[in-house]
Structure 1
Amino acid sequence: MVRGYFDKFPHSTVYFRRIRRFYIIYMVDWHELDPVITPEDREGMQLLINRELGREEEYNQRKSRKG
């Protein structure tokens, strides 16, 4: 499991789990001082963490993204 912290959500902790060869959000320890996390925010966070961990190509090729 990997923890992530993002500027837009400074009080919340985002937990990622590896699925096959990329990481997805498993759980968010959301804090009420932060804005609500939208599906677009989730996608952006997943892309960033996979990019940082060298898994961007695998993330972009996942089955849920294919036609």
Structure 2
Amino acid sequence: MELIDWSYGRRYQIKAVFSSHPNSPVIFRSFPDYYFIYTVKWSDRDSPVNRDDLAEMEKLLNEELGCLKAYETRRSVCGRAGL
């Protein structure tokens, strides 16, 4: 999977297109230090998007924007819940 294109939208959103699902734009929202998937405008011309696809999409976009370190150290991944 590759990040084909992305652009800034309104209200701190980013719209991205990935090679594995070229007809299904993915909308990301910002968290203080990284971006996460808000919604996928899925097209039936693409295969269904699964959890592994979502994780890979988040990783690719955060890497592109220089936010990968913050994304990888977020609480849900590191088990630091309750901080």
Paired residues in the alignment total 67
Kindly name which structure, 1 or 2, has the bigger radius of gyration based on alpha carbons. Answer: 2
1:9 aligns with: 21
1:18 aligns with: 30
Q: Where does structure 1 differ by over 6 angstroms across 4 or more consecutive aligned residues? A: none
Q: CA deviation at 1:21?
A: 0.5
- State the structure with bigger RCO (CA 8 A, min sep 6), 1 or 2: 1
Q: Does 1:60 align with 2:72?
A: yes
Q: Which has the higher helix share?
A: 1
1:2-60 Cα distance to aligned partner (Å, 9 max, x none): 01100100111000000121000001111001011110000000000000000000000
- Scaled by the length of structure 1, the TM-score of the pair is 0.97
Structure 1 unmatched runs, 5+: none
Structure 2 unmatched runs, 5+: 1-12
RMSD (Å), alpha carbons: 0.6
1:44 aligns with: 56
- Scaled by the length of structure 2, the TM-score of the pair is 0.79
